[in-house]
Each structure stands twice: as C-alpha cells, then as structure tokens.
Structure 1
Amino acid sequence: MRYVELPLDVQTRRVASLDALRGFNFIWILGGEGAILALAQMCQGKSGPLDAFGNFLHTQISHAEWEGFTFYDFVFPLFIFITGVAITLSLPRLVEREGLRGAYMRIVQRSIVLYALGVIYYGGIGNHWADVRLLGVLQRIAICYLAASLLFLHLNWRGLLATVVVLLGGYWALMTFVPVPGIGAGSFAPDANLANWIDRNYLPGRLWDGTRDPEGLLSTLPAVGSCLIGVLCGLVLKDERLTAQGKSFVLIGAGVVMLAAGYLWSLQFPLIKALWTSSFVLVAAGWSAILLGITHQIVDVWGYKTWATVLTWIGANAILLYFINGIVGFEPLARRFVGGDLAASIDVLLTPGAGRLLSHMVALVFVVALAGYLYRRKIFLRV
C-alpha cells in the first residue's frame, strides 16, 4: 500500500461520473446513514405525515430483516459494481505500462492488501483465532476484484456475460436443489439454507451474525457476478461505436431489463442480501446501471460537474476514508466537539435526535475536509 501524488495528466483521465457515483456510494457509509437515521428519529412519533416519513426513512436506511430490498441493502453491491466498472478503465492502461505479467502481479498484490486491510478493519489478529473475521466487506471486494480482473484480461464480453449467467444460475441451482442436512432442499430461511450451513460448518473464525455470515463462502460466487456486471457496464462506457449519450441510454436500458428480470426471479429465489441471491444481484445491478447511466449523462455528457465536486473528492479516496472511519471513526471524533451535554441540550431545545443529527453532520464535514485536502494535493491511496 502506498500514497502517491499523481501527475495532472494522469488525473485528467479519471472518469468524473464514476468518482462521483463512488462518492455518492460511500457518503452513506461515512456518516450519511447515521444522519438519516437521526432525521428519522426526529420525525417519528410526530403527528400525521411526519411520522410516516420518519418510518419510511428508518426502513430505507436499515437492512431488510431477511427478505426484501431497501436503499441501504443497495450500498454494498453498488460498490462491488463500481469496482467492476473501474477494472475496465484501469487494467488496460496497467497492461500497456507493465505488461501482462506485471498486471498479474499488481492485481494479486492489490487483492492481498485489500484482504489484509479487511482483516485489520474487523480487529486483526489481536484476538484468538476463533474471533478473527476472515470474510467481510473489504475481503469480499478483494476477492471480487481478483476474480473479475483475471477474467477481464482473458475473456471478451460474450465470455464475461456467459460467466455471469453460470455464476448466477449455478448459485440458484445449488441453493434450490442441494439438500441441507436435516432440512432438505429449497429452503432460503435464516440458518436453514445451504450457504449458511456451509459457513457454519466450514468457515473458520468469527461469523458476523454468530451462526452465519452475510459475506460468507458460497455467496461470494454471485458477488463475483455483481462485479462482472460492473465490468460489462464499463465496457459500454469504453465502446467507441456508441455516442456519449448512447452509452447513457444503453446503461439505463440494461438497468431496467435487469430490474425486471431480478424482480421476476425473486418470485422463486427471494431478494435476500445476507445470501446475495441471484435475484438480489440483478436488482442491485439494475439500480447500479441506471444510476451510472444517469450520472454519466449529467456529469460526462452534459458537463454539469460542480454539483458533484464533494462526491468526486470522496470517491477518489473511498477505500482510504472507509478504512479511517472503521479504525478511528469520524462520528466519534465529531462527538468530542458536539456530543455530551451539548447534544442533550439540543435534543431538549428541538426534538430527540437533533443532537445525534448534528454529530453526524459534523462528521461529514470532517470527511469532506479530509477528502478535499487529499484531492487538491492529488494524493490518492494506491494498493
């Protein structure tokens, strides 16, 4: 892992819409989620529409208990998708610069470092082996990046599409037809499905939910599919046969098709983020492609970039900011300035939740200040 100051000519080759979308993705992780939950708390219990609005916000900014799809369920798969898009933009230049062998080395190095950062993020190896979380968010990103990058280097778009079909279809077949000992086949209930059974019996270390892990072993297969769909959408952005506006329309259209297919598939294979079901992959990828198409149209085609400046700052150093937030925490830092009696007084003067909202807003100010400083200095985390 290293910090580098990139020359201006390298920076101008960044795709502004992709950085903006990555920043939109990560702002929810870095304080946006807490701010909206605080706003929901401020609205709940009030009369009429305010209470309904508060309940809506709380539902959408929380994970579905099991089946279903909320906005917050969308945050992680969106980043997996963005990782895939970025692969198509960065790897060809890497091959040109360092050759295929050098590209392999960099892919493996980056994957190992991301995986190690993930282990450290969840507590490292300071605890006993049984308490070390071997799979998690950064670890899944590392595995998906490794697999998708190697496939991208050796397959054309037809091969990549076929791989997605095999991964999603194969995962569906395994989950539907392979019997779970003592339960049988075709169950998708918590702790009563094949993916959870495999994690409980074969995944060492700490499981995030005690008896199961949402970033477990078998569910990594469709997650790679999520990343490959991002790769395919990245190829659309690079297709010189399409006009800039045509790329936006293709992305949005593909997103609509994936949404329809995902919701149709969910009638048999439910939308379950904790299992990363194939229907969940398609629905999340559909929304991701639509957002990418809209952002590309606004930022890269129409040239409206000013509104996305802060998002671009965050997106350009998303992993670094995520890691800092996990180890140090921007919101705990903010509470040192606006917590305690001050937050309690604000709750009394305004309404419960107002003090919490203030701390998360201050945390976001810290995030933006650090991201802006790093971006203006052209300092980016490269692993």
Structure 2
Amino acid sequence: MTTITQDSTAQQAPAKKKSSRILAVDILRGITIAAMILVNNPGGLEEEGFAPLLHAEWIGLTPTDLIFPTFMFIMGITTYLSLRKFNFTWSMTCARKIAKRAFLLWGIGLALVWLFAFVRGMISADNADLAFIERLGVAANSFEHMRLLGVLPRLGICYGLAAVVALSVNHKFIPWLIAGIFIAYYILLEWGNGYAHDTTNILDVVDKIILGEGHVYKWDSPDPEGFLSTFPALAHVLIGFCVGKVIMSLDNLNDKIERMFIIGALLIIAGALLAYLCPISKKLWTPTFAMVTCGIGCTLLALLTWAIDKHHYTGAATKFFDVFGVNPLALYVLSDLLLIPVSMLPLFGGHTLHQLLYNNVLTAFLPVPWASVTYAVLYVLLNWVVGYYLWKKKIYIKL
C-alpha cells in the first residue's frame, strides 16, 4: 500500500504522459466504486429493495450486474497505462510492483473475511459463556471456513495475470488469446453442466476439489468468484487492456471517443447475438456477459470522455465521483471496515447504529424499499466524507 501526495506525483509523472490522460477514467471508476458501496449496503433485506439494485438471480442482466465488470474493464485500461511506463518490458522494479499489488489485493480480501469472522465470533451468543481468552481463541481460529476467493482476490489475481500476459505476449496476439479463453470456457460450460444452478455444476465441483468445501462461497453454488470463472474474468480485463491500447494510440480526442463508441457498440451487439448460444450470466461470468458489460463500460467511458475531456464539464457530480475515483480501492476497503462499528457491534443498548437508524427512523417515515435505498445512500455519503478529506488533502492511497 502506497500513499502519495500531489507533489510526489508531480515529481514522478512526466509531463508528456500527463497530457494524454483521460480524466473520464477516474470519474467512471469513481461511479463504479460509489455504486458498489450503494448496492452492497442496503438498509433492509435484499429482497425488500428495488429490483434494479439487485443482481440477476441466475441468467440475465440488471444495472447492478454492470458495476463490478465495469471496474474490471477500467482496471484493464489502467493496467495498459501503468505498464506503458515500463515500455511493456520485464524488470525487477516492474515485477515487484505487479507482485506487490496482486498479493496486496488478495491479502486484504482474505484479511477482511477473517476480520468479519473474528468479530462475529467475539459477539456471538454461542460463545457468550466462554472466558474472554477462550472466546478470543475461538473467534480467531476461523481459517477452516474462510473463503479464499472474492471480489478483492479476483481483482488481485486478474490484475497480476493480465500484467504477466501484457509483458510476455506480443500485443497483437492478445485478442486471439481472449477469443481462445472464451471458446474454451464456453465448451467447458456446455460439457460440464455449467448452466446448472446447483452443486452439480462443473464450476462448483472444481472449486471444492481445488479450494476445499469450507473455502468457497457458502450462500450459493457455484461461487460467483470461483476458480474457473477467473479465466473469463481475466479475458475481461484483457479486453480493457486492448481498448486502452487502441485509444492511447490515437492523438486526437475526437478519434478516441469515436473509436470507443465503435468498440462498445460492436461488443454489445456481438454479446447480445451470441447470448442465444451462451446465456448472459454474471454468476458464471459467461463470455457473453463479459462482452456486453465491456461494451457498456466502453460506451459509458466514451460518453464521459465526450462530456468531461472534450466539453470540460466539471460540475458537482464530476467532483463528487472524482473523490471515489482517485482513491477507489481504499474507499472500497473502508466501506467494508465501517460495517464493523456501524452494522456489527451492538454499541447502543444492544442495538447497532444500523438497526437504530433503519428500523427506528427511516422505516418510520418511508416505505421499506425507499428506506432501504436511503440508508444505502447515507452509507455512501459516510464513505464520501472520508474520501473528500483525502481528496482535499491530495492524499492518494494506491493499492
């Protein structure tokens, strides 16, 4: 984890490369992080909220399903921008940077899973009769059932693998590699009962063989961030990398915007047509899901580039999302950490702050769906306040 300020950034970044930076990338990244925090933290039960704020149950696509893949698409673009500084050549400095970031993302993800299990163990009524030291030991020993994969581990693994591919493979072959991964994964799904929403699915079977039954997502089968679906997710990041290469090879901003619109449209059309053969599913991370969501992400980036970089729109919304965009992963991790004092610890007479605010205040004045989304918006704003302080002080925490 690295913390930098504007001064240190200015010393490290060459002026020539700074001029080619697309500001819309930061804004779209900020939108995805704010949206992640929003949909991950409803006030009530998921089924009590509005349908667009829920993931598709199995096959299909909702606005919520676009959030994580859009972030991964952007990660592919920023991976291109980052590795370009090393001329896409291996060096010890470059290798250390890649390894550090990949393992840090995975490690923080695992640490958060363990921390939540530890806190639940400490406050669990099942352990109430134990002495403090015994309760501490029981709570800390949660490794047997700790999920090894998840959102942050997926980001770390896909970033690391995409960076290795970018430094080791001729870039003109990367589109063929993406196509090969998609075709192989499609065959695997067809051959391995991959569309079954149960434990007979090849993805679930392989997860339990490789990771162990106690280390997979226990609320659904298969694990939405499981082992095999990591490969199409890698291809997803590589699509972002290729888009980054295309747009950064163009000097004219209008050409960049036009090319992004064209690529986005082609990906959406191709994914939609192929969906008759291979259904769109986030939980399976099907090739069609990757194509459609990358296409939508590319189109959104084109629209934001047109508004922000071309027409210089810098209104309140732009500044709001820039706060999340310059410290994206730090604020995402913060949103998880804040769950402990806000939603887990009964600090107010046996009630959590979440329970007091949602059950006693919001639902008293608003219908349940509106109360749930209002709570989520307030939680986003809580994280934004911390992010705004960092943004104002020009403190950028790089994971």
Q: TM-score range by the shorter chain?
A: 0.7 to 0.9
Q: Which residue of 2 aligns with 1:23?
A: 30
Separation (CA, whole Å) in 1 of partners of 2:88 and 2:269 = 41
Residues 1:5 and 2:5 are matched in the alignment: yes
Q: For residues 201-236 of structure 1, what are the alpha-carbon distances to aligned partners after superposition, in whole Å with 9 as ceiling and x for unaligned?
A: 222342113553111111110000000001011112
* Offset of residue 292 of structure 1: 1.2
Is contact 2:32–2:67 with CA below 8 Å preserved after alignment?
yes
Please point out which of 59, 67, 85 is paired with 2:77.
85
Asked if residue 381 in structure 1 is aligned to residue 390 in structure 2, the reply is: no
Question: CA 1:297–1:104 in structure 2 vs 1: closer, same or farther (change >3 Å)?
Answer: same
> Which secondary structure state, in structure 2, belongs to the residue aligned with residue 380 of structure 1?
strand
Aligned to 2:223: 213
Letter in 1 for 2:29: R
Distance 1:58 1:352, change over 3 A: closer
Give the fraction of aligned pairs with identical amino acids, expressed as a percent: 24
Q: CA deviation at 1:19?
A: 0.7
1:314 aligns with 2:324: yes
User: Helix, strand or coil for the counterpart of 2:3?
Assistant: strand
Q: Using a 3 Å threshold, how does the CA distance of structure 1 residues 331 and 291 change in structure 2: closer, same or farther?
A: farther
> d(CA) in 1 for partners of 2:375 and 2:69?
27
**Change beyond 3 A, Cα 1:68–1:352:** closer
- The one-character-per-residue Cα deviations of 1:259-318 (angstroms, maximum 9, x if unpaired) are 111122221211121111111111111111111111111111221123311111101111
Conserved? CA contact 1:330–1:366, under 8 Å? no
2:381 to 361, 365, 371: 365
Bigger drift between 149-158 and 261-270 goes to: 149-158
Matched residue, 1:269: 278
Say yes or no: does 1:254 pair with 2:260: no
8 Å contact kept, 1:36–1:61: no
2:284 aligned partner, one-letter code: L
The number of aligned residues is 360
Residue aligned with 1:109, SS:
helix
Q: CA deviation at 1:146?
A: 0.6
Q: Which amino acid aligns with 1:197?
A: V
Q: CA RMSD in A?
A: 3.1
CA distance in 2, matches of 1:87, 1:213: 26
Q: Deviations over 1:11-67 (max 9, x none)?
A: 8835321110011101112235656989996xxxxxxxxxxxxxxx82221111111
Q: Classify the secondary structure of the residue corresponding to 2:218.
A: coil
Distance apart, 1:97 and its partner CA: 12
| Residue range with higher mean Cα deviation, 218-227 or 8-17 | 8-17
Query: How many Å separate the matches in 2 of 1:36 and 1:297?
Result: 36
**Aligned pair 1:278/2:278, yes or no?**
no
Q: Which amino acid aligns with 1:221?
A: F
Unmatched 5+ stretches in structure 1: 42-56
Q: Normalising by structure 2, what TM-score?
A: 0.81
Normalization by structure 1: what TM-score? 0.84
1:355–1:337: structure 2 CA closer, same or farther, 3 Å change rule? Answer: farther
Single out whichever of 103-112 and 336-345 deviates more from structure 2: 336-345
Matches within 5 A, 1:43-192: 58-93=50-85, 95=86, 100-123=91-114, 126-177=140-191, 180=192, 187-192=195-200
Q: After TM superposition, give the deviation of residue 367 of structure 1 in Å.
A: 1.9
Letter of the structure 1 residue corresponding to residue 378 of structure 2: V
* Deviation of 1:352 (Å): 3.7
**Hey, what's the Cα distance between the residues in 1 that align with 2:47 and 2:199?**
31
Q: Distance in 2 between matches of 1:191 and 1:107?
A: 35
Gaps of 5+ in 2: 118-139, 344-350
